Amino acid sequence: MRHSPPTVLASPSRRRVLYRLLAAVAVVPAFATVAAHAQGRGTLDPTPSQTEGPFYPKTFPADVDADLTQVAGRSARAKGTPLYFEGRVLGTDGRPLPGAVVELWQCDALGRYHHAGDDGGPRDDNFQGYGRTTTAADGRYAFRTIRPVPYGGRPAHLHVRVRQASAATLTTQVYIAGDRTDGDFVLGASPRGTRERLAMALAPADGGRETGALTGTFDFVLRAAR
């Protein structure tokens, strides 16, 4: 069965890239669902929340599609290692949540957020800084971005917000498995086990993507709306 791609604002060439992303992510196993049901509980634990941080955009860029590595009207690509960030949005019952709006924002390869409050240092104007997409019928989302970098004493991370009509909104951060997070004040103030539950493993992207690119899969589990 062919799945519908998420809704994005993109040129035809960029839409083709994102369609290929969705075709690739369709073969990713549902690790979180399998693990929970293997333990005999039949339900999934909601993804831990994290602080929004000071750099959620006050105003959105003109280009807000799911490819953060290229800004509309600019020919150059963003600095940094390309990262295909993909996965699903699920309910605690393991069912996919279609129509969920997934927002992603992060600093550029120079450690700078594209936000009015993060001034004073060089920035990569070829990095979009923020993007959003909508999950397909099977709950899948896909972004093309860069591997996050550490900055200001914080480990590398992605900021994510997920909204869906039947679920409670989730705001969280996704970290990179294997990166050092010792001393991070956000994780230090979080319940035990949060770091492990928000860690995403990275692997080389398959041969259909650009040389040197990485891929990371993360499933978000939302609580039911109250």
Exactly one of 130, 141, 151, 175 is catalytic; which is it?
151
Active-site annotation holds for 113: yes
Catalytic residue among 154, 163, 195, 209: 154
CA distance 206 to 41: 34
Residue 50 to residue 149: CA distance in whole angstroms: 18
Q: Is 33 helix (H, G, I), strand (E, B) or coil?
A: helix
Structure tokens at 34: 């399998």
E strands, the chain, in order: 82-91, 101-105, 130-134, 140-146, 157-163, 170-176, 199-200, 202-204, 214-217, 220-222
159 among known catalytic residues: yes
Q: How far apart are CA 198 and CA 190, in angstroms?
A: 11
Could you confirm whether 154 is annotated as catalytic?
yes
Q: Which one of the listed residues 112, 115, 123, 159 is annotated catalytic?
A: 159
Contact 81, 69 (CB under 8 A): no
Q: Which amino acid is at 188?
A: G
User: Could you tell me the two tokens for 42?
Assistant: 């039949």
Catalytic residue among 115, 123, 157, 163: 157
Which member of 113, 130, 141, 175 is catalytic?
Answer: 113
- Return the active site residues: 113, 151, 154, 157, 159
